[in-house]
Each structure stands twice: as structure tokens, then as C-alpha cells.
Amino acid sequence: MIPTLSIDELSIRFSHRAGTIEAVDRLSLKIAPAECVGIVGESGSGKTQVFMAAMGLLAGNAEVSGSVRFEGSELLGAEPSTLNRVRGSKITMIFQDPMTSLTPHLKIGTQLAEVMVSHLGMPWRDARASAGRMLDRVQVPESKRRLNQYPHELSGGMRQRVMIAMSLLCEPSLVIADEPTTALDVTVQAQIIELLRAVRGESGVALALISHDLAVVAGLADRILVMYAGRIVEDASAQELFRRPRHPYTAELLKCIPSISGPRPLRLPTLVGQPPRPAEVLEACPFAPRCSRAADRCRIERPQLTGPATGQVACHFPLA
């Protein structure tokens, strides 16, 4: 079975006047059809850049190497016309900030219909009708009225629903959601997570959920990839990751997350130091400076992702 998305040895470098920045370092991952994969990482982990590369949205000064295949066909370096056929219809993206990702001067109905008109060749009237139905499906109340409104007339949560609707219009195989709930209030976030779960259930679309919030990802993902300094350090099923994290970073990160229930610790657990600046990483484990288990080997040899298909970890001395 061809994986929906297959990334091999992807490296992304940005050339700056101050030097070169390695945002992503020889990363490989696969997303199977209808699978929901959570990609978790903090600042500098490179999690967004990986998928920007897949969508061909990287900044002009980026140098990319490796391969990104969508349903078998190579996306990197593809002709703009090929890319445009696939982007927005078969592989779509939901961004973090619903305020800036919708065009402010066009009505919602127009923006939604336009997607279908340009990708599927549908006539405008049919496209608007489909758009209205899709708004119902994503639980936007009074969908007829909303079609005629402008983005600024909608609340943040509503706009995000519109983005989700837009991403589903052409029945994509893969939806990439980049921090879809980060800019939203927690009550709205809960509803959007619900919506994404419902959508997955109904349509069987594969979902790549990028977030810095493990709890958000926990509610949705089948499998979770933990990224650190441009590399994947752990790849496990959702249950396994939380029950038995194998990478020291994952384990520490889980401890750092405060909870609204359970006992209150005296001091909030934290990691010392900070994530490495992207320019600093070399042939070593990027987490070694902050790891309590680090040994000499960690400082000179880069750990590779190893393990069974159910759970892989890139660590010389994993926890389990």
C-alpha cells in the first residue's frame, strides 16, 4: 500500500547573512492513508518547515534536499503546474492564524467556491451550494448567511471552521494542520478538536497534526512523532508514547506539562538550558547538552531512529 506521504532524508537549510541554518536534518517519515499522525516539537524543532517543504511553501533562501512523495509522486522540485493541481485539492493545509489565512476582502462563499471552481472545474452556482453544505458539515450555524459575510465578521473559532471546510472541499487525501488551535481559546479549541475527529471518522482522510501541545495531539493522533532540533527523536503510537516514553526528551517534556488535576508539585519541572540554535547542531545528539543520561558517545555520534515499526527512538541510551 502506497503511503499517502513519504518523506526520505529531507534536509532543509536556510542561507542567511550570518551563516547557514539547518532547520531540518535528514528526516524521514511516512503517513499511511487515513492515519492521523501528530508531530510535536518546540521552537526550533523544524516541525513546520517539514510540511512547508511538502507544500512547496518554503522561503526563497531555502535549500532542500531529499525526497517528499505524495501518493508516489515526487513533490520536491516538481513543476509549479503539477504542484498546483495537488495543492489545495488533494493535499491541503490549515494554518495557525485564522485571521491572516483568509483573504480579507473576499466573501467567505467566494473563497470557498473558488477552490472548487479552479480545481474541479465546477460551475459557480454548484460550487456555492457545495460550500454551503460543507459549512453545515463543519457546524457553522446559519451557513447561508455566513457565505455572504467577510472574514472579519466571523469569530476566530468560526474562521478556523471555515478553513477546515476549505481544506475538505476537494476530498483530499491528506490534510496538514499546523497548530490549528493554538490561537484559539480553550473552549473553542475543544470544539475544533472534536470537529477534526468527526471529520476524520467520516471521510477517512489522513491528518498531519503539528503542535507544540502534546495534550491537543493526544486527543486525535494514532501515532506521534517527537521532533527536536530538526530531527525525529521518537516515533511511537499515541498510547505507547504516553505510557512508556523511550526518549529522555519525551519523558522530560511530559513531566514539564502542568496538569489541572492530580497533586501539585512543589516546583514546576523544567528542562535546563534551551533548545540548540539551528546553526549549532553537528554530528552528535542534539539533546545531549540537556540530557541527564548523556555520555561521551552522545556527544560524538548521531543516534539513528531504530526500533520496531510500532515504536522507534533515536537515542543511544533509550529509557526502555
Partner 1 sequence: MSDPLLRVRDLCVDFGANPAIRGVNFDLSAGETVGLVGESGSGKSTLARAILRLLQPVRGRVEFLGMDLLRCSGAALRAHRRDLQIVFQDPLASLNPRMTVGEAIGEPLQIFEPRLTAGDRVRRVSAMLERVGLGAGMAGRYPHEFSGGQCQRVGIARAMILSPKLLICDEAVSSLDVSIQGQIVNLLLDLQRESAMAVLFISHNLAVVRYLSHRVLVIYLGRLVEVALCDALFATPKHPYTRALLAAVPQLPSATAAPAAPMVHAAPAVPAPSAASAVPVLPAEPIRPARLMASGCAYRDRCPYVLPICETKDPPLLEASAGHWVACHRSQETLIPLSFA
CA distance 40 to 249: 12
Which residue of 58, 62, 218, 294 would you call a contact of partner 1, by CB under 8 A? Answer: 218
Cell output for 309: 515499526
- Residue with smaller CB distance to partner 1, 74 or 185: 185
Question: What residue type is 114 in one-letter code?
Answer: E
CA distance 208 to 210: 6
The angle, 0 to 180 degrees and rounded to 10, between the axes of the packed helices 108-120 and 156-168 is 10
Q: Do 319 and 251 meet the contact criterion of CB atoms below 8 Å apart? A: yes
Comparing CA positions, the residue from 92, 32, 89, 58 lying closest to residue 237 is 32
Q: Is 292 in the site for partner 1 (CB under 8 A)?
A: no
Q: Is 155 in the site for partner 1 (CB under 8 A)?
A: yes
CA distance 29 to 225: 9
Q: Is 212 in the site for partner 1 (CB under 8 A)?
A: yes
Q: Is 310 in the site for partner 1 (CB under 8 A)?
A: no
- Residue with smaller CB distance to partner 1, 116 or 196: 196
Q: Is 193 in the site for partner 1 (CB under 8 A)?
A: yes
Residues 38-67 that bind partner 1 (CB under 8 A): 42-43
- CA 100 vs CA 54, 84, 163: distances in Å: 21, 21, 11
In this chain, which stretch among 4-12, 96-104, 120-128, 187-195 interacts with partner 1, using CB under 8 A?
187-195
Shortest distance, CB of residue 115 to partner 1, whole angstroms?
25
Residues that bind partner 1 (CB under 8 A): 42-43, 139, 155-158, 185-191, 193-194, 197, 212-216, 218-219, 238-239, 242-243, 252-254, 256-262, 264-265, 267-272, 274-275
